[in-house]
Each structure stands twice: as structure tokens, then as C-alpha cells.
Structure 1
């Protein structure tokens, strides 16, 4: 299995935006970043609840670890159902390129006609 890992050397991490950057200050929130660690969680996008299982399968196939944080909260999801939920997806920096590609493929495969 070919794992595409990114090198964090010389990069910075914004813990507020959960993003990797080339400059010391975040272009989004303008806070000072810290040296990027290979395992820092990087935000790769929002995922509709209906695609969560598809993403889990795609990431499992290549053993990409990830965290999915709900945007509406557990209480709302339990009462209204997963169809209204969306998730913010985070992966370790070193696997972020590969994860972003798999993330986008999930959308392509599950596109509604």
C-alpha cells in the first residue's frame, strides 16, 4: 500500500482554524501558529450526514484515521435524524492530501443526478 505522507518541516499550524500553513500567522484568523506536527488534525471539509458511512468506508480502505464532529449536536440528531446533520472532518496532517482526494471521491460517487 502506497501511503502519501506530507512533510511538516517548515510549516505552521493554527489550532483555532485547524489548518496547516506556510506562514507563521494564519491567513484566516491572523493568530500566530505553532510549528506543525505530523499528527496535528487538519480540517478537510464538511460532509453531509448521508455520506458519513461512505466516507468511513473510503478512509478504512486506505487506513486513514479521521475524526468527524457533528455540527448540530447529538440531541438534535437523535430527535430529527442524521439526514439534517453535517460533519466537520479532520485528519492527521501527514495524511491530509490523500484524505482530501478520498473525501472528494465520496462526493463524486454519491452525486445525485
Structure 2
């Protein structure tokens, strides 16, 4: 638990994390890739509602932040697969915590179901 109030170093590291994961799609893409490597269309089908343009942009950003790796295979036509990196896998506990918080939040907002 962070207990140092508004420590500038803590605020900076949280800002860096939020910038790397900003938007509503990046964690969902990482979650989809956590089951194993996938091609672009597979990710698109699993992440409901994302456009191809947005998926392409988000994958490039995740790759730039070393959270996702893009592998191109020498086939015709070229085969491209995306996978989560070890650095990306370090977010598994964060994604699990967000999952449980989201369940709790949904119950709080919608009612006690």
C-alpha cells in the first residue's frame, strides 16, 4: 500500500504507468494475449468493439512500451503474430486486481446482486 501521500516520485511512477496503459483498449488487448500469441484478426475478434485502426494504433503503442512483441514469419502472405512480453506479463496481478475491483464496483453501482 502506498502511504507516502503525494510524494513526487510516486506520482511520477503512477503517471508513467497510466501513460503506458492509457485508454480503454490496452489492458483488454494484453488480457487477450495473455492466453498466448495471436494474429491481428484473432485479437480483433476477442476485443469486442475495437476498430482495426484503433487496434493497430494500440498494438504499436504496446510494442513501443515493450509490453507486446510482434513477430513476422517468412511466409506468403507474411504471417504476423503478437504476443505478450515478459514485461507485459508483469501486469498479470494488476489485471487480476482490476478484474476483482471491477466486479465489486459493478455490484456497488448496479446494486447488491
For the criterion TM > 0.5, the same-fold answer is: no
TM class by smaller structure: under 0.3
User: Larger relative contact order (C-alpha < 8 A, sep ≥ 6)?
Assistant: 1
Higher strand share: 1
Question: What is the TM-score with the length of structure 2 in the denominator?
Answer: 0.28
